Amino acid sequence: MSALATAPSLVTAGPSIAPAATTVGNPAINIGIFALFVVVTLAIVIRASRNNRSAAEYYAGGRAFTGRQNGIAIAGDYLSAASFLGIAGAIAINGYDGFLYSIGFLVAWLVALLLVAELLRNVGKYTMADVLSFRLRQRPVRIAAAISTLVVSFFYLLAQMAGAGGLVALLLGIEGAVGQRLVIVVVGILMIFYVIFGGMKGTTWVQIIKAVLLIIGAAIMTVWVLGKFGLNLSTLLGDATTASQDAGGKDLLQPGLQYKNPVDFISLSMALVLGTAGLPHVLMRFYTVPTSREARRSVVWAIWLIGIFYLFTLVLGFGAADLVGAKEIKNAPGGVNSAAPLLAFELGGEILLGIISAVAFATILAVVAGLTITASASLSHDIYNTVVKKGAATPEEEVKVARIAALVLGAIAIVGGIFALGQNIAFLVALAFAVAASANLPTILYSLFWKRFNTRGALWSIYGGLVSAITLIVFSPVVSGKAIDKVTGKSPSMLQGVDFHWFPLDNPGIISIPLGFLLGYIGTVTSREYNAAKYAEMEVRSLTGHGAETATHH
């Protein structure tokens, strides 16, 4: 509702704040299409919310989604603004190096498919912590897992909110103005509404609709771009490279445009490929299906959709490099993230731009909702129920606390998003992946596959991975000390004008991921704790599905 209410003021505020030249397309069309999406999804969310009393309904959509539905929702969750806007932009500017991102994001799904999805579905109930704490001491492990869930989700949230701000900057021509913040507030409020009323079921449907729109939109643009180059990929690549070189840029097909430092790129690659299977909002999606077989089917669907989508972004990125040009993209209000919307405008004018922008907004909204429900579930189910109430909270109480948590988290996300405006979103997401790979994945794998694993190992691995990843990020060039970019006149670092970095790499993965595994190992072998009965229960349950949570019937 609020989107409709604020729309007119944004339209009139746009041109008066920034010169009309920076506005692309017709803001009324953009907002109109987006408002339509909001109205349709809100109706669905309200329908879905009828049955949201029980915890299984609220957190896991009653575990009643099919593998295919969940697979599409996973794609909707995963193909965030970072994938669509960030990767297309990275390819447009840095060519081949941008493409490398998408490969890591895709291959990562094999870790989830082969090692995690099914076993986790059988063992857990609502959250990642359910699995990690299954055979260990509940309180400390749940607290650790919940903290790590919150941190990863928060980084990811920031990325999405920053994307929303950047996008509106482009569409309404408002730079750093009240309007951008207003949009973040609107996105935040809508998201809170989806989560509080829709629960997991509503959120899942929003993600399904969004995934379908996004993939169709990207498919249309891909065919369109290829059509312009005689359906010949080689011609497209050649023209894009020539265009880049004519404008004083480099050969987009050569590796190394974005990653000057080989170690930095290896570090990023490790975080990308090992991070996905440790993302709490991805893991939580596996609980929305009735069986481990359906969980497998979900991942298979997700891999196909995500893979095909990344192939589209390859074409879109090079298409934008040629048809829009690197300089125009960099100078647009949304920066690198505006490559895909600018390409849409170049191809299909105002209408296509409106559709693609609305889809991008919808993307942000859906992903942010998924993150919020994950974080609020962890706060309520792991912290409130297990730690505060010692497991005695009724499902109704838990759901109530989860809703309050969603409200608070939504507010924090709004404030954080305002501060994160202008950050490269693919990059923020890469940091979330680094933390997930360092703090979560070692514990998940040990816990599923290593008999000897125990509480000390879990705590050392989670806290060690988390603290090392974050410390290295804080003292990396991402936060301070990068040289000033000649085109934009700003330092690409998060903070301007200060330099306290001593860690040379942008991504901490190469240090913090092995450290997470190592600490988990050392912690385990120095403690004698071992719960044979719980381990037997967990292993039998993980492989056979005996005793696993079943779908609720209504």
Partner 1 sequence: MSKEAPERVVDDPNVAMQDSPEFDQLRSKFRRFVFPLTALFLAWYFLYVLLSVFAKDFMGTRVIGNVTWGLILGLLQFVSTFTITMVYARWADRVFDPEAEALARKMGGEQ
Contacts to partner 1 by CB under 8 A:
96, 99-100, 103-104, 106-107, 109-111, 113-115, 118, 125, 232-235, 237-238, 241, 251, 253-256, 259, 262, 265-266, 269, 273, 293, 296-297, 299-300, 303-304, 307, 310-311, 391, 395, 449, 532-537, 539-541, 543-547, 549-550
At residue 302, φ and ψ (nearest 5 deg) are -60, -45
Compute the least distance from the CB of residue 261 to partner 1, in Å.
9
Q: Residue 179: name the closest of 341, 333, 37, 350 by CA.
A: 333
Compute the least distance from the CB of residue 247 to partner 1, in Å.
18
228 C-beta neighbours (distance < 10 Å), count: 16
Q: Is 179 exposed, middle or buried (0-12, 13-18, 19+ CB in 10 A)?
A: buried
Compute the least distance from the CB of residue 527 to partner 1, in Å.
21
Q: Residue 83: name the closest of 274, 307, 261, 252 by CA.
A: 307
Compute the least distance from the CB of residue 391 to partner 1, in Å.
7
Question: Crossing angle for the helix pair 138-172 and 2-17, nearest 10 degrees?
Answer: 50
Compute the least distance from the CB of residue 540 to partner 1, in Å.
5
Compute the least distance from the CB of residue 479 to partner 1, in Å.
24
Contact status, residue 451 vs residue 518, Cβ threshold 8 Å:
no
Compute the least distance from the CB of residue 256 to partner 1, in Å.
5
For the four alpha carbons of 514, 519, 525 and 530, in that order, the dihedral sign comes to negative
* 8 or 227: CB nearest partner 1: 227
**Distance, CA of 249 to CA of 94 (rounded, Å):** 9
Compute the least distance from the CB of residue 264 to partner 1, in Å.
9
239 C-beta neighbours (distance < 10 Å), count: 18
**Distance, CA of 55 to CA of 378 (rounded, Å):** 12
* 104 or 523: CB nearest partner 1: 104
* 125 or 228: CB nearest partner 1: 125
546 C-beta neighbours (distance < 10 Å), count: 10
* 529 or 539: CB nearest partner 1: 539
Contacts of 474 (CB under 8 A, 6+ apart): none
| Angle, CA of 143, 144 and 148, to the nearest 5° | 115
At residue 453, φ and ψ (nearest 5 deg) are -55, 140
Q: Residue 153: name the closest of 299, 274, 278, 337 by CA.
A: 278
* 26 or 54: CB nearest partner 1: 54
In this structure, which amino acid lies at residue 29? I
Contact status, residue 101 vs residue 426, Cβ threshold 8 Å:
yes
* 266 or 518: CB nearest partner 1: 266
Contact status, residue 47 vs residue 533, Cβ threshold 8 Å:
no
* 264 or 341: CB nearest partner 1: 264
Compute the least distance from the CB of residue 109 to partner 1, in Å.
7
- Helix (H) or strand (E) holding 303, with range, is helix 292-323
**Distance, CA of 453 to CA of 520 (rounded, Å):** 8
* 238 or 481: CB nearest partner 1: 238
Compute the least distance from the CB of residue 2 to partner 1, in Å.
37
**Distance, CA of 445 to CA of 274 (rounded, Å):** 11
* 119 or 174: CB nearest partner 1: 119
Compute the least distance from the CB of residue 255 to partner 1, in Å.
5
- Reading phi first (left if > 0) and then psi (alpha if -120 to 50, else beta), residue 125 is in alpha
* 17 or 266: CB nearest partner 1: 266
Q: Residue 542: name the closest of 184, 152, 121 by CA.
A: 121
Q: Which residues of 342-363 are buried (b: 16+ CB within 10 A; e: fewer)?
A: bbbbbbbebebbbbbbbbbbbb
Compute the least distance from the CB of residue 198 to partner 1, in Å.
23
Helix spans in 378-422 (H): 395-420
**Distance, CA of 466 to CA of 146 (rounded, Å):** 12
Compute the least distance from the CB of residue 525 to partner 1, in Å.
21
* 296 or 482: CB nearest partner 1: 296
Tokens of 518: 């190592």
* 75 or 303: CB nearest partner 1: 303
* 269 or 338: CB nearest partner 1: 269
Query: What helix, strand, coil percent values describe the chain, rounded to 5?
Result: 80, 0, 20
